[in-house]
Chain A
Amino acid sequence: MINLILFAILGLALFGSFIVLALQGSPRSLPDSSAVQAVTEIINLEGSSFSNAKRLLDDTDYQVLCSNPDLRRLAERLRNERRRLALTWISLLQNDLITLWRFRRFLIQRGVPSNVREELGTLQALVLSLVLLIFLRLSIHAVGPFALPRATRQAGRLVDSMSKGAALVLGRIPTAGWAEIERSWVKSAA
């Protein structure tokens, strides 16, 4: 009985899915211009290009200001400002991850070999990372930017890794113009 009810519900749900797909129209292919856009975005991964993440989340200045009662208000302003910047930076990191993921989709659509297992693994990693970054954002909202001192130290590694990853992805593109961009990037990053 439960089986039959499930089949009835799932059948209707599937029918709804097909209706939605029909209404959405044909999927847009990724045009060449978006490839250029994707490469450009990877070169300028904004979260990666921010190199002072360690300093941003460092609470030394805040502690120094707090130690002087006359500077408490100034310390509070500094804390709020750092909070705003930290939130912006994490938002940029999220965008970077999504850009990398979109670029991967683009590569595979262009014939780069992969398999379903890797694809699902990538999706899982993306979702988990985004969830973790959202958690970090919430914690900054709730308890401020200096609450996770160890996370501060690791943030630098994230930025570094993302920058390297972006450059190496560029290196996989066999187009002469893009290869030139890659060489320029590696040179400037070195």
Chain B
Amino acid sequence: MDIFVVICVAGPVFELGALLLLVRNGLWRSYTSFFVYLTWLLVGNSAILIASVYFPGIYPTLYWHIDSIDVVLRFLVIWEVFHQIFPKTSGLNRSLSKGFGLIAFGLLAFGCATFLIYQNYTGPRSIHLALDRSFAFVQALMILGTLVAARYYGVRCGRNIRGIALAFGGWMSISTATNAMADLTTSFITYWYYLRPLSFVVMIAVWIWALWIYDPNPPIVESEPVELGQWTEDWNRTISAARTIIRP
């Protein structure tokens, strides 16, 4: 129980530390969405902490209500990461944002579907765990997709965004797995009880490391706009020629 209390207290303390770093370095202007989310985390987790000590009767309800709001607000982090890696003014954003938007919409629909079918599960089940699990999975995929796309196009990430994205993705992944295991077997609840806040605190600690210095993403160097139509035509001709070698 003592370890649990330490973990729960460490959460708001670390959040406060991360917020102070954002304010001290003036980073909140660059990472506005992230700043809003971090402020929410501090307010929400402080309320949970106070409720657990002074109002234990409303603690479970408050905890899960705040968690449900948090599920939605986590998209702010994804938004921040995507727009920092692919700035609105960049050609990459112009090229890919529509496609990524469609993929994100598909993932959201998938998240809603997997949440809604939780009622079909047999045995004990939790609506909160189902909500958290479904959307944590979707959010982890979104962050992973953004990072993989950045790597594919050779877009460099600074320490700030890289740390934020990786820690957030790691936390979402663990959240997906642990929430599923908690619903699978009640014996896992004991571990879940510690793993959930611990993984969250580790994420905030990584965020503090990431924000310790101002290291934004380097700007994407761009050429003047050029047409790719001819390239596509040549590429298609080359590919079709390659195919006809085998299948004339």
Contacts and interface: CB of A to CB of B under 8 A. Distances in A.
A and B together in one complex: yes
B70 to A, nearest CB: 18
A112 B232 CA distance: 12
A37 interface: no
A150 interface: yes
Contact of B237 (A3, A7, A114, A161): A161
Contacts of B170: 15, 18-19, 22
Interface in A144-190: 148, 150-151, 153-155, 157-158, 160-162, 164-166, 168-169, 171-175
A172 B173 contact: no
A68 interface: no
Nearest to A24: B151
Interface string A1-30: 101111111111011011101100011111
B187 interface: no
With most chain A CB atoms within 10 A of its CB, the pick from B137, B173, B220 is B173
B228 A12 contact: no
Nearest to A149: B248
B238 A111 contact: no
B245 A158 contact: yes
A66 B54 CA distance: 97
Interface in B141-184: 141, 144, 147-148, 150-157, 162, 166, 169-170, 172-181, 183-184
Interface residues of B, number: 74
B26 interface: no
A160 B241 CA distance: 9
Interface of A is mostly: helix
A136 interface: yes
Interface in B178-209: 178-181, 183-184
B117 interface: yes
Contacts of A93: 242
A104 interface: yes
A154 B151 contact: no
Contacts of B91: 108, 110-113
A108 B121 CA distance: 46
B174 A11 contact: yes
A11 B98 CA distance: 27
Nearest 5 A/B pairs, CB to CB: A116-B99, A11-B177, A111-B91, A165-B234, A11-B176
6 contacts: A8-B180, A27-B151, A27-B155, A104-B231, A114-B228, A119-B99
Given A29-B218, A164-B234, 15 more contacts: A8-B176, A14-B176, A19-B170, A21-B166, A26-B162, A27-B156, A93-B242, A110-B221, A110-B223, A122-B235, A125-B236, A154-B244, A160-B241, A165-B234, A172-B230
